[in-house]
Copies of this chain bind each other. A is one copy, B any other.
Amino acid sequence: MSRITDKLTSLGIALPEAPKPVASYIPALKVGNLLYVSGQIPFQDGELVYKGAVPTNCSPEKAAQAARICAINGLAAAQQALGGDLDQVKGVVRLGVFVASEPDFNGQPLIANGASDLMVEIFGEDGQHVRAAVGSIALPLGASVEVEMILELRS
């Protein structure tokens, strides 16, 4: 029985296929008891579902949802790197959240909460993490949000 998989199911979250290894960089890498996960963008069923800068081309509400999807994709990458077993994750260390922003948009923390809250929903207190949330002039493929993460693994 997998505690985290059960939790994901109870939240109605089905982890997608992990992103394919992309040439020279890879979705996730274990070093010691840390698992580094590459920056994720809001792909869902193979489609980039939230594009454009906040707030004109992507509303803050949609961008927060985008951050949540990024986090889900990050967990999918982690699961793959851990041979399918997310129960090896002890907790979340850090999220780096980049929000495609217009110059006068300053609500990056609320957007990032879409990813941060998900971590606590899934991992409870162990999901609490440090974070840097900043605006970006442009993100890969026009994504509205990019989220990278560091997870701590059980020894």
Contacts and interface: CB of A to CB of B under 8 A. Distances in A.
Copies in the complex: 3
Interface residues of A, number: 58
Contacts of A96: 132
Given A104-B138, A138-B108, A133 B36 contact: no
Interface of A: 21-29, 31-34, 36-39, 53, 93-96, 98, 101-109, 112-113, 116-117, 119-120, 127-143, 146, 148, 152
B130 A24 contact: no
B139 A93 contact: no
Given A29-B128, A29-B129, A132-B96, A23 B116 contact: yes
Contacts of A134: 39, 98, 136, 138-140, 146
14 contacts: A21-B128, A22-B109, A24-B120, A25-B130, A26-B128, A29-B130, A39-B134, A104-B138, A106-B138, A106-B142, A108-B139, A132-B146, A134-B138, A135-B137
A146 to B, nearest CB: 6
